Structure 1
Amino acid sequence: MTDDPKLYDLSRRKMLAGLGAIGLASAGAGLGTSAYFSDREEFENNTLAAGTLDMTVTADVVAANQYWVNQGGLDVSAVADAQDAVMGLQIDDIKPGDWGIICFEIEVGDNPGYVQVCTENFAEDGGDNPEPEQAVEGDADNDADLGEFLLTTVWQEYNGATDGTGMKTDLNILDPVFNNNSDIVPLAYGEPDLDGVVDADQHHTTAREANAILDVANDGYIIKDDAGEPAVIGSDAEVYEFCLLIELPYEVGNVVQGDSVSFDLVFKTEQVRNNETPFMNDVEESPTNETA
């Protein structure tokens, strides 16, 4: 019997290819017949949202002298709660003896905040210079004197009526920050002289003095608590209130005729959380809400 050489014509390459095919088939069979231990846990619908800090400031004229009341002065009320500035108090005929009390309510929503109050664009103008003023100042002078004599004193409390029957004596706890002497004891209203002085224990600031304290160039004034620390406003839905007495004393006379004072009163708030030095950073670097 003669062997057929074709039956044994098996090259090395064909043999390796055949073995490779068998190996792949074995691997495939292994995947189908075994499994690793495994487990799976999930946290679904994760969301991170930034909080909000929103301030509202309400200003109401709560009491005034009878002339101001008769002119509708108690109808003045304004709420600042937007990016746009709100038109404030406009008095174009103030005379010696006129006075009014404006109370500001500050509310910080969603998260507690620190609040800074400052003045911007403070300006005085000599305005008209009628003959009675010339007789006092001299014909060539027309100085802007209203800011020197107009009292703009900050008080911590007002306990009177808000229907026009309230009085200056309903004010108490004169804010000691707005006095030249930090040792002055807060007292109830006392009648000041032309320089704002009542006695050795009490001084009412003039518009110029108040601006020096509040001027934005001097970093304004951060509202403090009784311990002298920045007050936390907005916790437990609390509303902070302070009142501003504007008064032109009887004794001023003709020196202020035609003069005027103008300024912007600006309120700013910054978050309390993670903020050990409020209002020390640039606006761009601080979560700040500003109301003018």
Structure 2
Amino acid sequence: MADEAVRRRRWDSPDGETIMTNDNQSFGLSRRKVLAGLGMVGVASAGAGLGTTAYFSDEESFEGNTLTAGELDLLMDYRITYNGGPGRLEELQALYDDDPNYNPEVQVKEFPEGSGNYVLDQVPRRPDYPEPNDWVEAANVGVGENGEISGFEREELTDAGFPLFKLEDVKPGDYGEATISFHLFDNPAYMWMGGGLRENANNGVNDPEQATLDELGYEETTNDDPEDFAAWAEDEDALYYNVDGDWGGQLADAIEARVWYDDNCNNIFDEGGDGEPVDISLVIDVSGSMTYEIGNPDNVIGQGEGSRIAEARKAAIALANNLREDVGGSGLDDRLGVVTFGGIDEEEFGLTEASDVAAIVDDLEDLESYEVGQDDPPDAPFGISGTNIGAGLYGGRHMLDTQGTPDRRPVIILLGDGAPTWSYESEQVDGSTESGFPSYGEWQGWVRDDKLDAMADVGGNGAADDTISVADEIKDETDYLIITIGFGLEEVGQTGLARTTLVEIASPGDGDDGNKLFFESPADVDLVAIFAQIAQVVFGEKVIAEGSLREVLAVLEEGYALDSNQFTEGQDCFPPLLTRCVGFEWWLPTDVGNEVQTDSVMFDIDFYAEQCRHNDDPQNPFA
């Protein structure tokens, strides 16, 4: 197929980010490149443009045929923060607020007041601005109080094409961060991230800077070749500066930077348990709805391929195959165990070490859900299992309480495909006239028959409230991290209630943004990819590049293939409507001296999308 027939959508920045130090020099991270990189959109060739190439048409002799070209649209949202010390609000507002490139609904705000931390810009603005809560939830496909998806609308997003950062008088100790979430519409696409250093200038040399450059052993040169300066940066003995050129400054090598998959979109690099083994209690819904055909909930197909339970098995096996052995040289493996719930909880198998992954996989391959209208598995209460999420949570806690070890991080991952329907009869619990769960301590004394006798088909808000109370008790009494997944909720009844309940069950993520560790997995999105995303939160978010700003941009300049599923080999396409975030942060270390006075840097960050269909060999557009 001809290359020009492949649809592409590119974000690249037209001008470059600018960052400057001291003396009213500007420190440049251009939103043009970060947001043009978050920036401009166009075809893969050097020229930009805002359209996509036509893919097919039909005007042949068989009349009445219609073929309509599809669409590939890449749009962005972002939140930019800067910690530059208190007392600079008016200065920063003057830089940003009158610039037509930036969101006219947003004014630079210091948050919290007096902290020296500023929200520079945000697309789109959320009602609680500058607090991050609403933006973080929407960027991560958040859920409103009514349980409806409150992610960003297409018309709220941006094509970018302007600098993200535009700062003057940057000092040692300053820090900036941008979380960028990208959205594909209409068609899946391969994604790449690119960028590059566009300027690293001295802008003249004042007396303190000259004295420090001399003391450090720098020699002046009239050479202004960027490739030479890049090579010298790798040689500790090659110290040169150029007073008036575009490339003879020291700032790009002094600034530290990091780019990473910000899998929970919270503007924070979560190291997770990178050097810490984990115990994962995987709690899986096996109620009758898990036998539905994916994409067709009216068709009950049982346990086989194409069913919800088969997709859950596949995702759980992928997670098991990515458990770590001898984590961080500790001699300890990650461990995984599975609890299922329909009407009551069942421990399928206990916490098992990664080194015995074959046994884990064997057990997972046998995992089945209850069949609608049948006692299959034979102990399904009442023939059809209800959805007793609270029982599953208690079962997950019990596994960690009785089998967990203090040197492993305890995590509950709960997968549910609907709202809770069952709780317990009041008289079995406390003799009152309302439904509810017993305390965990009392529940531990119940045998299976006690649980069966106490079960009640409560439904609605009653079961949801009872279930949330169980999760609250776990979070209050333990340090267990609870991550929830809503699987195919759009295809079941009480979708809003199901989402709201799963959001309330989930633990808050790191930081003070109020974001919950809830992940939405629409039925037509590969559940394995969602589990891979969650694994980055548990094991530590994946770094794309880190080092000096020059080093990070050198990686991006080569083009970095973004991957929607880090559990698989190669580059996987990103499905439309599934939000993913990338974080970019920079800081000027406090031990940097006068050698960077008056210096400025300018750089670009780009994103590029190319259609998946009929495109078995995607090529790096930045290579």
Give the TM-score range, shorter chain. Answer: 0.5 to 0.7
Matches of 1:111 and 1:160 in 2, distance apart?
Answer: 22
Q: Does structure 2 retain, via aligned residues, the 8 Å contact 1:156–1:172?
A: no
Matched residue SS, 1:116? strand
Matches within 5 A, 1:246-261: 246-261=586-601
Matched residue SS, 1:92? strand
1:210 to 552, 561, 577: 552
Per-residue CA deviation, residues 136-182 of structure 1 (Å, 9 max, x unaligned), is: 112955441111011120132376977xxxxxxx42149x9xxxxxx
Give 1:39's aligned residue. none
Matches of 1:94 and 1:208 in 2, distance apart?
Answer: 17
Change beyond 3 A, Cα 1:62–1:94: closer
Matches of 2:263 and 2:616 in 1, distance apart?
Answer: 31
Give 1:74's aligned residue. 119
Matches of 1:221 and 1:78 in 2, distance apart?
Answer: 24
How far does residue 122 in structure 1 lie from its aligned partner after superposition? 2.0
How far does residue 258 in structure 1 lie from its aligned partner after superposition? 1.0
Count of residues in correspondence between the two structures? 205
1:144 to 231, 244, 249: 249
Matched residue SS, 2:168? coil
How far does residue 123 in structure 1 lie from its aligned partner after superposition? 1.8
Give 1:233's aligned residue. 574
Give 1:47's aligned residue. 66
Matched residue SS, 2:262? strand
Give 1:192's aligned residue. none
Q: Does 1:273 align with 2:613?
A: yes
Matches within 5 A, 1:41-120: 45-62=64-81, 64=83, 66-67=85-86, 70=89, 71=92, 72=108, 73-77=118-122, 81-82=158-159, 85-120=161-196
Matched residue SS, 1:147? helix
Change beyond 3 A, Cα 1:258–1:233: same
Matches of 1:149 and 1:60 in 2, distance apart?
Answer: 24
Matched residue SS, 1:210? helix
Change beyond 3 A, Cα 1:68–1:45: farther
Q: Does structure 1 retain, via aligned residues, the 8 Å contact 2:265–2:580?
A: no
- What letter matches 2:120 in structure 1? D
Matches of 2:621 and 2:263 in 1, distance apart?
Answer: 34
Matched residue SS, 2:199? strand
Change beyond 3 A, Cα 1:53–1:97: same
TM-score using structure 1 length: 0.60
Per-residue CA deviation, residues 95-148 of structure 1 (Å, 9 max, x unaligned), is: 100002110111111001111111146221111312111111129554411110
- What letter matches 1:77 in structure 2? Q
Matched residue SS, 2:119? helix
Change beyond 3 A, Cα 1:88–1:68: farther
Change beyond 3 A, Cα 1:92–1:248: same
- What letter matches 1:268 in structure 2? Y
Give 1:222's aligned residue. 561
- What letter matches 2:553 in structure 1? N
Change beyond 3 A, Cα 1:161–1:65: farther
How far does residue 253 in structure 1 lie from its aligned partner after superposition? 1.3
Q: Does structure 2 retain, via aligned residues, the 8 Å contact 1:62–1:161?
A: no
Matches within 5 A, 1:113-192: 113-120=189-196, 122-138=198-214, 141=241, 142=243, 143-157=248-262, 170-173=268-271
Change beyond 3 A, Cα 1:136–1:257: same
- What letter matches 1:232 in structure 2? C
Gaps of 5+ in 2: 1-61, 93-107, 109-117, 125-156, 221-240, 275-327, 329-509, 511-542
Matches of 1:267 and 1:74 in 2, distance apart?
Answer: 23
Matches of 2:158 and 2:617 in 1, distance apart?
Answer: 25
Matches of 1:209 and 1:152 in 2, distance apart?
Answer: 9
Q: Does structure 2 retain, via aligned residues, the 8 Å contact 1:114–1:271?
A: yes
- What letter matches 1:211 in structure 2? L
Per-residue CA deviation, residues 17-60 of structure 1 (Å, 9 max, x unaligned), is: xxxxxxxxxxxxxxxxxxxxxxxxxx973201111100002231
Give 2:405's aligned residue. none
TM-score using structure 2 length: 0.30
Q: Which has the larger radius of gyration?
A: 1
Matched residue SS, 2:270? strand
Matches within 5 A, 1:191-206: 204-206=546-548
Matches of 1:212 and 1:233 in 2, distance apart?
Answer: 25
Change beyond 3 A, Cα 1:213–1:117: same
Identity %: 25
Matches of 1:63 and 1:91 in 2, distance apart?
Answer: 9
Matched residue SS, 1:275? coil
Gaps of 5+ in 1: 1-42, 163-169, 177-184, 190-201, 283-292
Moved more, 104-113 or 62-71: 62-71
How far does residue 77 in structure 1 lie from its aligned partner after superposition? 3.1
Q: Does 1:243 align with 2:583?
A: yes
Change beyond 3 A, Cα 1:161–1:211: closer
